[in-house]
């Protein structure tokens, strides 16, 4: 029986000829990731278990991104604990304020994950790196602790849904609209325990930034991982960032899928997820009522890359956001932040009445840098709109692309852009 892309990567890392759906395996890891929220729990467990050291100091990434620059004394204490752990074990990829970025924007940018590699991260959006043809999945802190110590993790081999993409996206329609459309179609548990595998001639028109955004939200459909077939676009991206060799895995022709879904990218429209689940989607044409907003957030591990900043700036150029709206723009990494300054985007944002923050997860999870009061409403390019996600339990988050968020900030209400 043939294997999917995800199954082939798992088999290779488990040292097996083949694996089948449901099989429990132990596999070797190419990267173990944690952040300032999940790593302290992992470090406590690591220390309690009495491990003598880490399996490979080059294959662990610790990124201080959620509550940084430290929002309070407790957050500072958590970062300090991570910093001391990184120092003690000489962790190569420790990123702190000044050279950090939002983890899932930062690791691809630095070439730390690539095609055919196996990564776990104590953060649910670790599935982002599937955009590069890696098998990458979110786990908890205990898995992270075990991974740091042993370089291995246990997996149950997943089945897969195949997404066969054709056509090309229209202007102002992005990877965000594709993934919101898919989640609206299959639901927040539509891919529970499964892989989402993206293939087809439509890949040619999807940039790496679009693919990273799509894979990022695979978890919002309950998926274990999202993965894209590797092509020239992937290899060109990797060539600029890493000089190691990669194994490229394509699905077998006779691979078995639980479901095959065809998507013509040219039919995707600008899409918004309504509170309080990412599956509550409407295209902008379907929104008939006036939905006034108090805040717009443009950034995050989903949409904090340079192409996101450019499209938002294109829309905000020579305009001003509506009176009474706060617009918070957060480049995903220091490199993107600097690009925003060099390309003149920073000036456009500030002139339009937005604030430009250093990289942080901040408001996405109601941490800091843009918390909502009771009764307030935000449009956000982030990935979750659960109850209380961005602040008060009686606030609301609508998810959308950077283009729709920027257009909405100008209009003061949720709107698409022609």
Partner 1 sequence: MKAHGTVHKYGDNVDTDVIIPARYLNTADHKELASHCMEDIDKDFVKNVKEGDIIVANMNFGCGSSREHAPIAIKASGISCVIASTFARIFYRNAINIGLAILECDEAAKDIENGNEVEVDFDTGIITNVTKGCTYKAEPFPEFIKDIINKGGLLNSLKK
Site string for partner 1, 267-306 (x = CB under 8 A): ----------x-----------------------------
Asked whether position 45 contacts partner 1 by CB under 8 A, the answer is yes
Nearer to partner 1, 71 or 310 (CB): 71
Is there a contact between 380 and 297 (Cβ–Cβ < 8 Å)?
A: yes
Nearer to partner 1, 225 or 333 (CB): 225
Asked whether position 222 contacts partner 1 by CB under 8 A, the answer is yes
> How many residues are present in the chain?
418
Nearer to partner 1, 22 or 344 (CB): 22
Pick from 71, 110, 292, 310 the residue near partner 1 by CB under 8 A. Answer: 71
Pick from 32, 112, 119, 145 the residue near partner 1 by CB under 8 A. Answer: 145
Do the bridges between strand 396-399 and strand 326-330 make them parallel or antiparallel, or are there none, so unpaired?
Answer: unpaired
Name the minimum Å distance from CB 137 to partner 1. Answer: 8
Nearer to partner 1, 149 or 316 (CB): 149
Asked whether position 20 contacts partner 1 by CB under 8 A, the answer is no
Nearer to partner 1, 45 or 209 (CB): 45
For the CA atoms of 35, 106, 328, 313, the dihedral, rounded to the nearest 10 degrees, stands at -170
The residues in 100-119 that bind partner 1, with binding defined as CB under 8 A, are none
Nearer to partner 1, 158 or 202 (CB): 158
Name the minimum Å distance from CB 151 to partner 1. Answer: 12
Name the minimum Å distance from CB 6 to partner 1. Answer: 14
* # residues contacting partner 1 (CB under 8 A): 49
The CB density around residue 6, as the number of other CB atoms within 10 Å, is 30
DSSP state of 391: B
The residues in 172-201 that bind partner 1, with binding defined as CB under 8 A, are 188-189, 192-193
Of the ranges 4-12, 34-42, 168-176, 323-331, which one interacts with partner 1 (CB under 8 A)?
A: 34-42
Do the bridges between strand 326-330 and strand 295-299 make them parallel or antiparallel, or are there none, so unpaired?
Answer: parallel
Asked whether position 142 contacts partner 1 by CB under 8 A, the answer is yes
Supply φ then ψ for residue 228, to 5 degrees: -105, 140
- Give how far Cα 149 sits from Cα of 34, 144, 255, 266, 283, Å: 13, 9, 34, 47, 46
Pick from 6, 78, 273, 380 the residue near partner 1 by CB under 8 A. Answer: 78
Asked whether position 24 contacts partner 1 by CB under 8 A, the answer is yes
Place of tokens 């999870």: 365
Pick from 232, 253, 254, 393 the residue near partner 1 by CB under 8 A. Answer: 393
Of the ranges 98-106, 208-216, 217-225, 344-352, which one interacts with partner 1 (CB under 8 A)?
A: 217-225
Find the radius of gyration of the CA atoms of the chain: 20
Asked whether position 124 contacts partner 1 by CB under 8 A, the answer is yes
Query: b/e map of 193-215 (b: 16 or more CB within 10 Å)?
Result: ebbbbbbbebbeebbbbbbbbbb
Place of tokens 């909502």: 372
Query: b/e map of 243-281 (b: 16 or more CB within 10 Å)?
Result: eeebeebebeeebbbeeeeebebeebebbbbbbebbbbb
Place of tokens 């649910």: 124
Asked whether position 389 contacts partner 1 by CB under 8 A, the answer is yes
Q: Is 203 left (phi over 0), alpha (psi -120 to 50) or beta?
A: alpha
Pick from 141, 281, 295, 302 the residue near partner 1 by CB under 8 A. Answer: 141
Nearer to partner 1, 164 or 280 (CB): 280
Pick from 55, 83, 140, 242 the residue near partner 1 by CB under 8 A. Answer: 140
Is there a contact between 57 and 92 (Cβ–Cβ < 8 Å)?
A: yes
Pick from 260, 338, 350, 387 the residue near partner 1 by CB under 8 A. Answer: 387
- Work out the end-to-end distance of the chain between its first and last CA atoms, rounded to an integer number of angstroms: 47
Provide the sign of the torsion angle of the four alpha carbons 88, 65, 37, 25, taken in this order.
negative
d(CA 8, CA 16): 9
Residues near partner 1 (CB under 8 A) are 24, 37-38, 40-41, 44-45, 48-49, 66-67, 71-72, 74-75, 78, 121-124, 126, 138-143, 145-146, 149-150, 154, 188-189, 192-193, 219, 222, 224, 277, 365-367, 384, 386-389, 393
């Amino acid at each position: 029986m043939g294997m999917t892309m995800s199954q082939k990567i798992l088999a290779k890392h488990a040292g097996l000829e083949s694996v089948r759906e449901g099989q429990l395996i132990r596999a070797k890891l190419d990267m173990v990731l944690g952040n300032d929220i999940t790593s302290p729990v992992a470090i406590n467990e690591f220390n309690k278990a009495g491990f003598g050291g880490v399996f490979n100091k080059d294959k662990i990434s610790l990124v201080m991104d959620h509550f940084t620059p430290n929002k309070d004394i407790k957050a500072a204490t958590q970062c300090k604990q991570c910093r001391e752990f990184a120092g003690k074990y000489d962790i190569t990829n420790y990123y702190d304020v000044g050279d950090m970025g939002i983890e899932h924007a930062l690791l691809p940018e630095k070439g730390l994950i690539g095609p055919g590699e196996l990564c776990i991260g104590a953060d649910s959006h670790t599935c982002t790196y599937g955009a590069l043809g890696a098998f990458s999945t979110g786990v908890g802190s205990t898995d992270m602790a075990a991974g740091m110590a042993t370089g291995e993790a246990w997996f149950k081999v997943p089945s897969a849904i195949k997404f066969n993409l054709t056509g090309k996206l229209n202007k102002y329609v992005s990877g965000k609209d594709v993934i919101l459309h898919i989640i609206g179609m299959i639901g927040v548990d539509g891919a529970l325990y499964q892989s989402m595998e993206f293939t087809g001639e439509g890949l040619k028109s999807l940039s790496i930034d679009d693919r990273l955004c799509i894979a990022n939200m695979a978890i919002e459909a309950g998926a274990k991982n999202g993965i894209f077939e590797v092509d020239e676009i992937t290899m060109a991206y990797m060539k600029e960032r890493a000089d190691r060799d990669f194994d490229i895995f394509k699905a077998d022709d006779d691979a078995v899928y639980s479901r095959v879904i065809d998507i013509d990218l040219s039919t995707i429209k600008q899409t918004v997820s309504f509170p309080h689940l990412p599956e509550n989607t409407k295209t902008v044409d379907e929104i008939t009522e006036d939905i006034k907003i108090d805040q717009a957030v443009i950034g995050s591990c989903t949409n904090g890359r340079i192409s996101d900043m450019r499209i938002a700036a294109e829309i905000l150029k020579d305009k001003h956001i509506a009176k009474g709206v706060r617009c918070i723009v957060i480049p995903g990494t220091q490199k993107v932040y600097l690009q925003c300054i060099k390309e003149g985007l920073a000036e456009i944002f500030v002139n339009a009445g937005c604030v430009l923050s250093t990289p942080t997860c901040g408001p996405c999870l109601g941490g800091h840098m843009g918390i909502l009061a009771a009764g307030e409403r935000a449009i956000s390019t982030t990935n979750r709109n659960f109850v209380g996600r961005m602040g008060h339990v009686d606030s609301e988050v609508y998810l959308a692309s950077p283009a729709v968020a920027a257009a909405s900030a100008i209009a003061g209400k949720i709107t698409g852009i022609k």
